[in-house]
Amino acid sequence: MAIASAASDSSARIEPLADPEVRLMLEVRDGNAAAFEELMLRYQKRLVTVLEHLVGKRGQAEDLAQEVFLRVYRARQSYVPASKFSTWLFTIANNVAANAARSRSRRREVQVAAAEGDDRIATIDELALAASGLMPGRQLDKAELREVVQAALATLSERQRLAVLLNKFEGMNYADIATTMDMSPQAIKSLLCRAREKLREVLEPYLERGERPASP
């Protein structure tokens, strides 16, 4: 989706000027360089966090985040506030990440095991193998638990993962996620439902063993 239409097709319409960041972006449009740096400061960690969990590599996430900010700046003069700033920003991030994924796929740098249209990164068996250090009866410590959760996230498709990250980390509602990902709210509802069910399916056995080590 083009940037301009991303800004104008929002199904999650709000009073844009009520969003302080939209006001900052309007300052950027009017030539205030400091306002752009302020927006960067506000979003850079959030953006890199989402992108890192999406693409799985920190360096690549930083590159993509820079590309997103560059696109935001280049689009400043045609910026029309039609949705929350965060929705607009993550729409651009989604496009940038999708382009990068297509490019990676063309270069055959990633092995994609497609299943029903989902580009899964790890199977449950692989996850079990990755977490094989978790012996029954042993309390999960923080680092281990984090690894398990990361691996569980990796079992989701890229679309599921993005929807989960936007919902969980950015607190976006279904309508905003739908705008960001260029899908209908109903499709997002189903996507998130499948994602959460998958997470439950993967994480629950580990939680069960961790909490009740004596159980057979």
Partner 1 sequence: MTDIQPDPSELRERLVAYLDGELDGASARAVEKLVAREPQVERELRQLERAWQLLDRLPRAELDPSFTRSTVEMVALAVEEEQRPSASSGRLRAAQSLLVLTILAVAGFSAVRFWPDANHQLLRDLPILEHLEAYRQTSSIDFLRRLEKASLFADERVVTAPTPEATLTGIESLPAEQKTELHRDYERFVHLPPEEQRRLRTLHIEIESDERAAELTAVLVALQKWLKQLSGIERAELMALDADSRFERMARLRRDEARRLDAKDLQAFIAWAEGCLGRLAQQRPDAIKVRPNDVPPARRREMTARAAHELRLTHPFLFASAFNDPGARRELYDTLSPSGRRQLELAKAPEERRLLLQTWFAQAFSPQAMARAAQLQLPEEKQTELKRFFQTQLDPAQRAQLLNLPADQMQRQLRQRYEQWKRGKRSDGP
The site for partner 1 (CB under 8 A) is made up of 20-21, 23-24, 31-34, 36-38, 40-42, 44-45, 48-49, 52-53, 58-59, 61-63, 65-67, 69-70, 73-74, 102-103, 106, 142, 145-146, 149-150, 152-153, 164, 167-169, 173-174, 189-190, 192-193, 196-197, 199-200, 202-204, 207
Q: State the nearest-atom distance from the C-beta of 124 to partner 1, in Å.
A: 14
Taking the CA atoms of 103, 88, 155 and 133 in sequence, report the sign of the dihedral they define: positive
Q: State the nearest-atom distance from the C-beta of 129 to partner 1, in Å.
A: 20
Q: How far apart are CA 48 and CA 59, in angstroms?
A: 10
Q: State the nearest-atom distance from the C-beta of 140 to partner 1, in Å.
A: 10
Give 124's DSSP letter: H
Q: How far apart are CA 168 and CA 145, in angstroms?
A: 18
Q: Which is nearer to partner 1, 115 or 207 (CB)?
A: 207
Q: Which is nearer to partner 1, 80 or 201 (CB)?
A: 201
Residue entry with tokens 């923080």: 142
Q: State the nearest-atom distance from the C-beta of 214 to partner 1, in Å.
A: 20
Per-residue tokens: 40: 């960067």
Q: Which amino acid, residue 14?
A: I
Q: How far apart are CA 216 and CA 214, in angstroms?
A: 6
Q: State the nearest-atom distance from the C-beta of 109 to partner 1, in Å.
A: 13
Asked if 58 and 52 count as a contact pair (C-beta separation under 8 A), the reply is: yes
Q: For residue 140, with 0-12 CB atoms within 10 Å meaning exposed, 13-18 middle and 19 or more buried, which class applies?
A: middle
Q: Which is nearer to partner 1, 196 or 209 (CB)?
A: 196
Q: Which is nearer to partner 1, 82 or 202 (CB)?
A: 202
Q: Which is nearer to partner 1, 123 or 197 (CB)?
A: 197
